[in-house]
Copies of this chain bind each other. A is one copy, B any other.
Amino acid sequence: MSNATEAELSGEERLIARYFRPLATHPAALGLMDDAAMLVPPAGCDLVLKTDGLIGGVHFFPDDPADAVAKKALRVNLSDLAAKGARPIGFLLALALPQEIKPAWLEAFARGLGEDAEVFDCPLLGGDTDRTPGPISVSIAALGSVSHGKMIRRSGARPGDRVVVTGTIGDAALGLLLRRDSIMAERWGLKRGHQEDLKARYLLPQPRNAIIDALHRYATAAMDVSDGLVGDLSKLCRASCVAAEINVASVPLSDAAHAASAKQSALVETILTGGDDYEIIATLPADAVEAFRQAVLAAHIQVTEIGAIVAGEGAARFLDQNGKILHFARPSFSHF
């Protein structure tokens, strides 16, 4: 770029130059100075492509910190890449901003985005910024790569495989309830620290990109848990033409979720169907579970066996301690 004075640039060009060009360090981004990004795809690899977006008032609270909004927008996409065993390549950003957005918000947003782009090695490649009369909207399209033919699919689960899940389930869904209505914390008898843990899980997921080598080595199928464990595992079962039997008592809960559900047992439904977990469900042969657990632990991530794949057609059955099948009013989070 030649030294155009500020006045020669449109408002949109100034906004891009100020907040987003510093993030566009990858050569494919061409400094955000061309119509499009130009990427040399990694040799011998397939591309894994995902788009997911956040809308203010729907996926985050309007007063959430802007850096966390940016990070969440990138991380929900990184979570899908991780579940597919894909290494991040980079991302495109489509940002729609209401008139009232202030420079301080944009600055924090760009800072958060830049931090996570670096942490997860997933640089900004291009983007689009628009005004909107509606809420803030952040759409990201993320690209990843896997060795040719090696993407981990939803469809590879086989009867006899064990079902495992990373981290803990239900925290973000409980955190959302707390954000919506703080009176819940009293009803659930939650300590301050536990309240903060749950809200933090909703605010900012932790994608499991650190375990992709372990997934490639051991998993027969995988997906990320974003719309609730019950509905998402059912999707995996349908894609694999199998069924699953899950012991609800085995589903890993945080101390905070344990405390809340001990006080209000109906919360188990929120925990299992609420979504926003961004953990990974994987299936793997029974004799690989221990090796997988060790490999994942090396990345300081906990993994828990919660059940098994059985023959059947596309259902995930969640069993209580007496072996009774639980039924859920709404197995999956859905906007529609």
Which residues of A line the B interface, CB within 8 A? Answer: 1-4, 8, 10-15, 28, 30, 33-41, 45-53, 55, 57-59, 80-81, 83-84, 86, 92-94, 96, 125-135, 137, 139, 141, 143-144, 146, 148, 151, 153-155, 223-224, 227, 231, 234-235, 238-239, 241, 313-315, 330-336
Contacts and interface: CB of A to CB of B under 8 A. Distances in A.
Given A133-B135, A154-B35, A239-B34, A148 B332 contact: no
What copy number does this chain have within its complex?
2
A38 B224 CA distance: 16
A233 to B, nearest CB: 12
A41 B33 contact: no
A38 to B, nearest CB: 5
A92 B49 contact: yes
A132 B137 contact: yes
A284 B124 CA distance: 31
A335 B131 contact: yes
25 contacts: A3-B313, A10-B227, A11-B334, A12-B334, A13-B332, A33-B155, A33-B239, A34-B155, A35-B83, A35-B223, A36-B84, A36-B144, A39-B46, A51-B94, A51-B127, A53-B94, A55-B132, A131-B335, A132-B135, A133-B135, A134-B134, A134-B135, A134-B137, A139-B139, A141-B141
Contact of A139 (B10, B94, B235): B94
Given A84-B36, A151-B38, A223-B35, A128 B332 contact: no
B224 A35 contact: yes
